[in-house]
Amino acid sequence: MTYDKHPRGFASDNNAPVHPTVLEAMQRVNNGHAVGYGDDPWSPQAAERIASLFGDKAEVFFVLTGTGANVMALGSAMHPWHSVICAETAHIHEDECGAPERFTGSKVIPIGHVHGKITPALIDKELTGFGFEHHSQPRVISISQTTERGTVYTPEEIRELAALAHDHGMVLHVDGARIANAVAALGITLKEMITGTGVDILSFGGTKDGMMYGEAVVILNGTLAKDFRYIRKQGMQLASKMRYIAAQFLAWLEDDLWLKNARHANRMASLLAQEAAAIPAIRILHPVEANGVFATLPKEKIPALQEEYFFYLFDENIPAVRWMTSWDTTEEDVKGFIDMLRKQLT
Amino acid sequence: MTYDKHPRGFASDNNAPVHPTVLEAMQRVNNGHAVGYGDDPWSPQAAERIASLFGDKAEVFFVLTGTGANVMALGSAMHPWHSVICAETAHIHEDECGAPERFTGSKVIPIGHVHGKITPALIDKELTGFGFEHHSQPRVISISQTTERGTVYTPEEIRELAALAHDHGMVLHVDGARIANAVAALGITLKEMITGTGVDILSFGGTKDGMMYGEAVVILNGTLAKDFRYIRKQGMQLASKMRYIAAQFLAWLEDDLWLKNARHANRMASLLAQEAAAIPAIRILHPVEANGVFATLPKEKIPALQEEYFFYLFDENIPAVRWMTSWDTTEEDVKGFIDMLRKQLT
Amino acid sequence: MTYDKHPRGFASDNNAPVHPTVLEAMQRVNNGHAVGYGDDPWSPQAAERIASLFGDKAEVFFVLTGTGANVMALGSAMHPWHSVICAETAHIHEDECGAPERFTGSKVIPIGHVHGKITPALIDKELTGFGFEHHSQPRVISISQTTERGTVYTPEEIRELAALAHDHGMVLHVDGARIANAVAALGITLKEMITGTGVDILSFGGTKDGMMYGEAVVILNGTLAKDFRYIRKQGMQLASKMRYIAAQFLAWLEDDLWLKNARHANRMASLLAQEAAAIPAIRILHPVEANGVFATLPKEKIPALQEEYFFYLFDENIPAVRWMTSWDTTEEDVKGFIDMLRKQLT
Amino acid sequence: MTYDKHPRGFASDNNAPVHPTVLEAMQRVNNGHAVGYGDDPWSPQAAERIASLFGDKAEVFFVLTGTGANVMALGSAMHPWHSVICAETAHIHEDECGAPERFTGSKVIPIGHVHGKITPALIDKELTGFGFEHHSQPRVISISQTTERGTVYTPEEIRELAALAHDHGMVLHVDGARIANAVAALGITLKEMITGTGVDILSFGGTKDGMMYGEAVVILNGTLAKDFRYIRKQGMQLASKMRYIAAQFLAWLEDDLWLKNARHANRMASLLAQEAAAIPAIRILHPVEANGVFATLPKEKIPALQEEYFFYLFDENIPAVRWMTSWDTTEEDVKGFIDMLRKQLT
C-alpha cells in the first residue's frame, strides 16, 4: 500500500499533514531566544487558553505524544497497586505496547464494550476487592472520546461513569486523542462535556486534527496536578523548546480552527458512510458519529481496494476495515473512493 | 531574568530558535498524507543519511527528546539488574529526574570527574562484583560528548573507555546532546570519533544546534538494536508524524549546516572565554573546548549581570556561572556582554 | 469467623499447620554455621533432589513465597514489552496485587476459562500483533495446575498448550502452588506432567501441602535460567538462611510425603463433594479433581454455616463458596461438616 | 573455604543457626489451623509486642527478608521521582542488586562516609534541586544501625540526621539488620534510640541475631503506613503462614533474648578485636562497637587463614578482612582463632 495513486487516503487521520495556519504560527514564534521547558512567553498563554475552555480550575501541561499524554495522566492518578478499567479496545490497552504498565507499575483491566463504549453494567464486576491487599485496587475508569470504534459518549453517559468512579473513590480519565471530533459531533462545549460531567483528567490531543506534535494533559481534579511536573519529566515527556507546541495550540484553538477541522472530517465520514452503506457488499459495523467508518465486506476483495487507496484491514476475522477521514479530506476524495468501491464490489 | 533587554542571552543553547533552513524543510514535507510512525518516505531517507555518517552498520531510530534518547539507549543495553557508570555531572544522573532508573529499573552509579570527563582510573573501583548476585552488574559506561562542563573527549580517550567497557563485557554509551560541537571542535568525522573508537550506542541530538525537536539513537553494536522498536514505543518516544523529525535531520545535515552551526557557536564561546579571562574578577573554570564557558566571579555581582543578560548561576557554592553560546549568537552579542561584564566587574 | 469451634476448617489449605516431619527436618539442620544464600550443604542437595523429579536438565532455585515464585518465573521469561496470557481466575491476575506488572513492567492479559482452565480456542484471539511495535508482544501462556477452581489439566491439555506457545515463540509457565494435588490426582510423575509435555518453567509450591515457607522455581527451558540469580535477588526472594528451606523440601519429598499429603487432601475433598452433592440445597459448581470443592447454596444460609466452620464466600453473585481440604483434614472433620450442612440446610 | 575444620567461623552472623528457644516457639504454634497472611492469633500479638518497644504510635508489619524490609520501607516513603541518600557502603546501595531502584523506580544516591557513618556535612551537597523538575527530589536519608563497618550511631547523631531530614521535608530510614547489636552496645532502649530521635521508619531484623527468617518494618511516622499492606503484597513480602514469623519474634523478644544474644556477640567481637590488635601484623580499621571486626593484614597470608576458619576478604585493595561474631560464638572459638592468627602471622 502506498499513497502513490491517491495522495490522501483513509488509513488514518494522523497521516494527514499539518494545517498551514498551525505551521505558520510555529514560524511566527521562531524568533529570538526563549527559555526552555515551558518558561517561554507562549506556553503559559496557551495553557491558559486551553484552561479557559474547561472553566476556572483546569490545570494544563504540555507533553509530546498521545501515548505520553495517556500514561502521564494515569501516572498522576495511580500508585503501582492500583488498576485502571478500560474497554478492551482502548488505546491504553491495545496500542501502547504496555507503556502504562511499565511506567506506572499498575494493572490495566480490559473489559467488554458496546461499539467501543463501556458502561456501568460492564464495569461492575471489576469494582471489587477494595481494601483487600491481594487485589489491585481499582482507581481509574478510562474511556476514549471519540471511541476507538468511531462512536461518541453522550454527556449523560460520561456523567454516569464519573459518578460511578467517584462513588468508589476512583477517578475518570478521558483519552481525547479525537476529542475535537466528539465536540464537533455533539455540538456542546468542552466545559459541558468534560468539566460539567465530572471528568477528572483528560488527554487533549490535536495531532489527528491538524497539529504536528504535542498534546496537553488537562487536570480538572486539582489533587492530581500536585506532582505532575516531576511525572512528566521522569516520563520523558517534557519538551525543551516548548514554544513550538504552545504556538500550535494557540493557532489550532483560534477562530475555532480545531472545530472547523473536526466538523469537516466528521462530515466527510458521514458522507462516506452514507454512500458506502448503499453498496450491497458493504455493511457498516458501528454508528458513524465522528470521523471513522468501520465496515465489513468480502475479504477477498480488500487487497485490490487497498491498491487504489491506502487503508487498513482492522480485524482479519470479521473481516473489518477502518476508514478514517481527516481535516483535509475532500468531497472528491470521498466520491472517488466510493466510485472505486462501487466498481470493484459490484 | 528575562530576554527583554537582549533577545539572545547566554543561558542555554536550547533557548535559541530553530534554524530557518530546518523550518523550511519541515514546511516542504507538509504535503499530502504520509504513513505515521516512520513509514513515510522521508524517515528511512534521514535514517540512512545519518547511518552513512557512521559507516555501514549503524542503525538509526528517531525519538522525541534528549532524555528520551538517553533512556532508550540505556534501555536497549540494560536489564534491571545492571548498572551504568557515569560522571556525577552526567545528564542521566543529574538532570533527568530519575528517568533512567524508573524506565530501566537499573542503577545509575555516579563517579568523580575531571572537568566533566571520566577516566579508567576513576571508573575502576566500580568495576566490581561481576557474577555476584548481590551486586548490580556493571553493564554500561556512559559519557557525554561534549561534556556537561564544556570539554571534549579526544578519540584516544574514547577508545580507551570503549576498550575498558568491552574488556568487562560492557558497552559504551555516548550522550551526544552536543555532539555537533564536539565534532566541530575536533575537526574529525563522526565515523572517526564514534565508530572508529568502539562506541556502542549514541544519543545524537540536534535540538541545541538548530533543530526544533526530535533526536536519533544511533546503534553501532547491532545486538542492541534487536528490540529497540518495542522499547521506543513503550518508552513513549515514538512520534506519529515522524516525517517532520526526518525533514529536520535531512536539512540539518545537508551542506554541513550542523557543523557550520556548531563551529560558529564554538567560536563564539572561544571569543567569550578569551575576553572574559582578561577581566581580573573572572576566572574560567574549565577548558573551553566547545560552546560552553564556566566561570567564577564575585557572587554578589551576579544578580546585576543577570538583569542585563539571561544566564544561570550554575553552582552556588563555587560560585560558578555557565554561559552557553548557540548557532545564532553574534559577535556583537559577545562584545555587548563582555562590555557589560567589564563595566560591572571593574 | 474463627477457628474457635473447630480447630480445622475448610477455608484454605494454607491455614493448615506444618507437617511434623518437615518441622523435625528443620530442627535437624539447626546445627553449626552454614554459608548463607544457598551455599550451605543442604540447598544443592535439595535442588538436585527436585531436579531429579523432572529429568536431567531441570534447574532449581529456591524463593520465598508463591507470589514470589510466579513473579520470578515470569521475570525470567519476559521483557517489559511482553505479555502473559492467563485465565481471568489466575493467581497472577487476581491475587498478587499487580506484582507481576510492577516487577516485570509487562502486561497481564486475562481471558475466559472453563472451570478454571484455558484452552487454545480461548487463547487464540490474543495471539496477535506479533512484530507490531504498538502491541505488547505475547510471550508467556500461564496456567495453574491445580487450577483456581479445583480442576486438573490432563497431560494432553498441557502438551497442547505448550505446543501452541512454542509455535508462537512463546513459553508455557505453570503456577504449581497445588501441583502436588494435581500429581496425586493424575497418578503420573512430574516428569510426565511437566517435562514430558513441554512446560518451560514451573512454580513448585509446598506451603499448601505441609511445608512452612519457601517455594522452588523449576526451569526446564535452560535459556530462562541464565540470569535467574540476579532476578531473584533483585526480586527480594533470596533467603539468607536457605538451609531451612532446603531441609523442608528434602523432608517433604522423602518417602513421598508430599504425595501422601496431597492424596489424602484430595480424598477428603472427594468425600466432602460426594456427601455435599447429596444435599438438595447444594450444587457443586466445578468437577472436584483435587482438594477444592466449589459449591452454590442459598445465600442467606451461609453466615450461620460460617459461624460453625471457617470457610470463605468465594463469589457473592453466584453465590459460590469454596471449601478446601488439607493434609490434616480428617474424615471426622468432613463428617462433622456434612452433618452440620445437612442440619442447617434442610 | 568450608566449615569443615571449625563448625563456627567468623564469616557472617547470618551463618549462625537459629536459637533453640526461637525454634521451640515455632513448634509450639504448629497446632491446628490459623488464618493466613497475619490474621492468626499470634501475628497481632507479636506486632503489638514490637510496637510497645517504640512507644504508642508505632505500626508494625512483618516481611520476609532484610532486603525486603528495606525496599518496602523505602517504597512506603518514596515516589519514583524521589531520591534516597545513603552511605556508599549501605546495603541498599551495595548489596541488594538494585532492588530499591527496580521496585520504587527512584534514585539511590551514594555518598562518602566515616567508618560507615554519614553526617550532615557529607549529606549537604545532595540536598539540592528541591522543586526543580529536572532533578530527583531528595526524600529519604537512610542509615544503617549498626553500620556496615561495625560502628554505631549515637542517639545525638541520629537526632541530628532526623532533624536535617525533617527540615527538608524528608524522612529518616534506619536499616536495622543489626539493630540489636546497636541497642546492646549503647545500653539504651529502642524508644530512646529510634522514637526519641525522630526516626520515621525502621527495618527491624532478627535473622542475624538468632531468628530463622522474617523481618519487621516499624513505622513511627504514621503517614507512611497508609498503603503499606498493598506495597508489601505487591513487593512479594507477605508471608502466607505468618504465625511462624510471629512466633519467632515473640520468643526472640521474651526475657530479652535478643539483647542477650547481641550483647554476647558484641562481647566476642570486642575480645577478638582486643586480642587481634595485639598481633603486630594486624591493624584494626574501624572502631569495634558492635559484632564486627574489620582489619588489615598482609594479603599473602590470608588464604592460609581462611583454610582454617571461614571468613571473607572484604576489600581486596586495602586489603581488608571482615570478622563477624554471632550469638553462638564461644570464647573458645575466639581464642582458637586468635591462636591460629598468632601462629600464622608471626
- Burial of residue C234, with CB atoms counted within 10 A of its CB: 0-12 exposed, 13-18 middle, 19 or more buried: buried
**Å between A230 CA and nearest CA of chain D:** 5
For residue D83, the distance in angstroms to the closest alpha carbon of chain A comes to 12
Domain final residue pick, A256, A288, A304:
A256
pLDDT of residue D4: 84
Query: Is B14 within a domain?
Result: no
Put simply, the answer to whether D234 touches A80 (Cβ < 8 Å) is yes
Give mean pLDDT, residues C108-113: 98
What is the number of CB-based contacts under 8 A between chain C and chain D? 159
Predicted local distance difference test score (pLDDT) of residue B1: 67
Kindly report the nearest CA distance between residue D104 and chain A, in angstroms. 9
Q: Are residues C71 and C44 in the same domain?
A: yes
In a domain, residue B12? The reply is no
C-alpha cell recorded at residue A72 = 502521564
Which among B101, B135, B136 has the least Cβ separation from residue D107?
A: B101
Q: What pLDDT is attached to residue A122?
A: 98
pLDDT in tens, D320-330: 999 999 999 99
ipTM value for the complex: 0.97
Task: Answer for the pair A337, A311: CB distance below 8 angstroms, yes or no.
Answer: no
Q: A290 and A207: one domain?
A: no
Put simply, the answer to whether B9 touches A234 (Cβ < 8 Å) is no
Please state, in angstroms and rounded to a whole number, the distance separating the CA atoms of residues C22 and C26: 7
Whether B131 has its CB under 8 Å from any CB of chain D: the answer is: no
> Hey, is the C-beta of A16 within 8 angstroms of any chain B C-beta?
yes
B3 vs A213: CB contact, 8 Å cut-off?
Answer: no
Q: What is the pLDDT along chain A (346 residues), one digit of tens a residue?
A: 678 888 898 999 999 999 999 999 999 999 999 999 999 999 999 999 999 999 978 999 999 999 999 999 999 999 999 999 999 999 999 999 999 999 999 999 999 999 999 999 999 999 999 999 999 999 999 999 999 999 999 999 999 999 999 999 999 999 999 999 999 999 999 999 999 999 999 999 999 999 999 999 999 999 999 999 999 999 999 999 999 999 999 999 999 999 999 999 999 999 999 999 999 999 999 999 999 999 999 999 999 999 999 999 999 889 999 999 999 999 999 999 999 999 999 8
Neighbouring residues of A273: CB distance < 8 A, sequence distance ≥ 6: A284, A288, A293
Helical pair A243-253 and A20-28, crossing angle rounded to 10 deg: 140
Q: Are residues D126 and D83 in the same domain?
A: yes
Placement of cell 608471626 in the chain: D346
- Decide if A240 and B14 are in contact by the 8 Å CB cutoff: yes
**With the CA atoms of B267, B270, B272 and B277 taken in that order, what torsion angle do they form, in degrees rounded to the nearest 10?**
-170
Q: Amino acid identity of A24?
A: E
Task: Quickly state the pLDDT bin for C346 (edges 50, 70, 90).
Answer: confident
- Out of C209, C231, C256, pick the residue that ends a domain: C256
3-state secondary structure chain D: CCCCCCCCCCCCHHHCCCCHHHHHHHHHCCCCCCCCCCCCCHHHHHHHHHHHCCCCCCEEEEECCHHHHHHHHHHHHCCCCEEEEEECCCHHHHCCCCHHHHHHCCEEEEECCECCECCHHHHHHHCCCCCCCCCCEEEEEEEECCCCCCCCCCHHHHHHHHHHHHHCCCEEEEEECCHHHHHHHHCCCHHHHHHCCCCCEEEEECHHHCCCCCEEEEECCHHHHCCHHHHHHHCCCCCCCCHHHHHHHHHHHHHHHHHHHHHHHHHHHHHHHHHHHCCCCCEECCCCCCCEEEEECCHHHHHHHHHHCCCEEEECCCCEEEEECCCCCCHHHHHHHHHHHHHHHC
Asked if A94's CB is within 8 angstroms of C80's CB, the reply is no
User: Which residue in the block uniquely carries the three cell numbers 507562549?
Assistant: A42
Torsion of CA A269, A274, A278, A280, to 10 degrees: 40
Instruction: Using alpha carbons, list the distances in angstroms from residue C303 to A157, C8, C309, C310, D36.
Output: 38, 18, 10, 10, 20
Nearest to A241 among B14, B34, B238 (CB): B14
Whether A102 is covered by a domain: the verdict is yes
Interface check for D136 against chain B (CB to CB < 8 A): the answer is yes
Report whether B243 contacts B47 (CB < 8 A). no
Mean of the per-residue pLDDT values for chain A? 97
Residue B264 has pLDDT above 90, yes or no: yes
To test the contact with chain B by mutation, choose from C234, C237, C238, C240 the residue with the greatest count of B C-beta atoms within 10 A, namely: C234
Q: What is the per-residue pLDDT for C58? A: 97
Spatial distance between the Cα atoms of C277 and C271, rounded to a whole number of angstroms: 10
Is D51 in the same domain as D182? Answer: yes
Assigned C-alpha cell, B317: 557554592
How many Å lie between the alpha carbon of A317 and the closest alpha carbon of chain C? 9
Per-residue pLDDT of B9-40, as tens digits, reads: 899 999 999 999 999 999 999 999 999 999 99
Cβ atoms of A173 and A141 closer than 8 Å: yes
The whole-angstrom distance between B160's CA and the closest CA on chain A is: 31
B79 in Cβ contact with B136 (< 8 Å): no
Give the distance from residue B289's alpha carbon to the nearest chain C alpha carbon, in angstroms: 40
Angle at alpha carbon of residue D149, lines to D146 and D152, rounded to 5°: 35
CB pairs B-D closer than 8 Å: 61
Q: Is residue C237 helix, strand or coil?
A: coil
Considering CB atoms only, which of C94, C97, C107 is closest to A98? C107
pLDDT in tens, D92-141: 999 999 999 999 999 999 999 999 999 999 999 999 999 999 999 999 99
Do B180 and B250 lie in a common domain?
A: yes
Q: Taking Cα atoms as reference points, which of A96, A39, A90, A91 lies closest to residue A62?
A: A39
Residues of B in Cβ contact (< 8 Å) with D135: 94-95, 97
- Flag whether pLDDT at B322 surpasses 80: yes
DSSP state of C54: T
Instruction: Work out the minimum CA distance from D79 to partner chain A, whole angstroms.
Output: 9
Listed in sequence order, the residues at least 6 apart from B189 whose beta carbon sits closer than 8 Å to its beta carbon are B53, B183
CATH value at residue A214 = 3.40.640.10
In the structure grid, which three cell numbers stand for residue A132, read together?
483487600
Instruction: Give D 24-43 residues with CB within 8 A of chain C.
Output: 26-27, 30-36
Same domain flag for A140 and A182: yes
**Model confidence over C202-231: pLDDT tens digits?**
999 999 999 999 999 999 999 999 999 999
CB of C241 closer than 8 Å to CB of C215: no
| Residue A68 shares a structural domain with residue A199 | yes
Tell me, yes or no, whether C6 lies in a domain: no
Nearest to D134 among B95, B105, B125 (CB): B95
Q: How far apart, in whole angstroms, are the C-alpha atoms of residue D18 and residue D209?
A: 8
Angle among Cα A172, A173, A174 to the nearest 5 degrees reads: 125
- B267 and B252 belong to one structural domain: no
Partner-chain contact B79 C134, CB within 8 Å: no
Closest Cα to residue A215, out of A174, A182, A268, A183?
Answer: A174
pLDDT tens digits, one per residue of C147-176: 999 999 999 999 999 999 999 999 999 999
Which of D39, D107, D230 is most worth mutating to test chain A (most A CB atoms within 10 A of its CB)?
Answer: D230
Chain D closest-CA separation from residue A139 CA (Å): 13
Q: Which three cell numbers stand for residue D249?
A: 519474634
User: What is the tens place of the pLDDT at every residue in D244-253?
Assistant: 999 999 999 9
DSSP-assigned beta bridge partners for residue B172: B141
- The reply to whether C3 falls in a domain is no
Identify the domain containing residue D137 by its residue range: 20-256
Q: How high does pLDDT run on average in chain C?
A: 97
Q: Cell numbers of B293, please?
A: 564557558
What residues form DSSP beta bridges with B176? B204
Note whether A282 and A40 are within 8 A (CB).
no
Question: A34 and B23 in contact by Cβ < 8 A?
Answer: no
Q: Which of C221, C256, C291 is the last residue of a domain?
A: C256
List the single residue in D with minimal CA-CA distance to B94: D135
pLDDT at D7: 87
Is C213 in contact with D102 (Cβ distance < 8 A)? no
Question: In this complex, which of B133, B134, B230 lies closest to C133 when CB atoms are compared?
Answer: B230
CB-nearest to B233 from C37, C79, C133 is: C133
Task: Looking at the complex, report in whole angstroms how far the Cα of residue B134 sits from the nearest Cα belonging to chain C.
Answer: 6
DSSP 8-state secondary structure symbol assigned to residue C117:
B
Q: Which of residues 61-80 of C touch D (CB under 8 A)?
A: 64-68, 71
Please count the structural domains in chain C. Answer: 2
Rounded CA gap, D236 and B11, in Å?
47
User: Exposed, middle or buried by CB within 10 Å (0-12, 13-18, 19+), for D166?
Assistant: middle
Tell me the β-bridge partners of B110. B86
C226 and C106, same domain (yes or no)? yes
Q: What is the pLDDT of residue D2?
A: 78
Edge-to-edge strand list for the sheet holding C107-111: C59-63, C215-219, C201-205, C171-176, C137-144, C82-87, C107-111
Number of CB atoms found within 10 A of residue D309's CB = 20
Angle value at C-alpha A337, between A331 and A343, nearest 5 degrees: 135
Residues of B in contact with C226 (CB under 8 A): none
Q: How many pairs of residues across A and D have Cβ atoms under 8 Å apart?
A: 35
Could you tell me the CATH number of the domain that includes residue D266? 3.90.1150.10
CB of D121 within 8 Å of a chain B CB? The answer is no
- Identify whether A111 is part of a domain: yes
- Identify all chain C residues contacting A105, using CB atoms and an 8 Å cutoff: 98, 101-102, 105
Residues B174-190: tens digit of each pLDDT = 999 999 999 999 999 99
- What region does B198 belong to: left with phi over 0, alpha with psi -120 to 50, or beta? left
A150 found inside a domain: yes
Q: What is d(CA C339, CA A171) in angstroms, rounded to the nearest whole number?
A: 48
- Do the domain assignments include residue B11? no
Q: Phi and psi dihedrals of D62, rounded to 5?
A: -90, 140
Check if D231 contacts A (Cβ < 8 Å). Answer: yes
Cell numbers for D133, please give them.
523538575
Q: Do D188 and D116 have their domain in common?
A: yes
Cβ pair A137:D230 closer than 8 A: yes
* Same-domain check for residues C184 and C300: no
Dihedral of CA atoms B31, B35, B40, B44 in degrees, nearest 10, equals 160
Q: Is the pLDDT of residue D1 over 70?
A: no
**CA nearest to B109, candidates B132, B129, B90, B131:** B90
Residue-wise over A185-218: b if at least 16 C-beta within 10 A, else e?
bbeeebeebbbbbbbbbbbbbbbbbbbbbbbbbb
Give the per-residue pLDDT at A3.
85
Q: What is the pTM of this model?
A: 0.97
Q: Do C173 and C188 belong together in one domain? A: yes
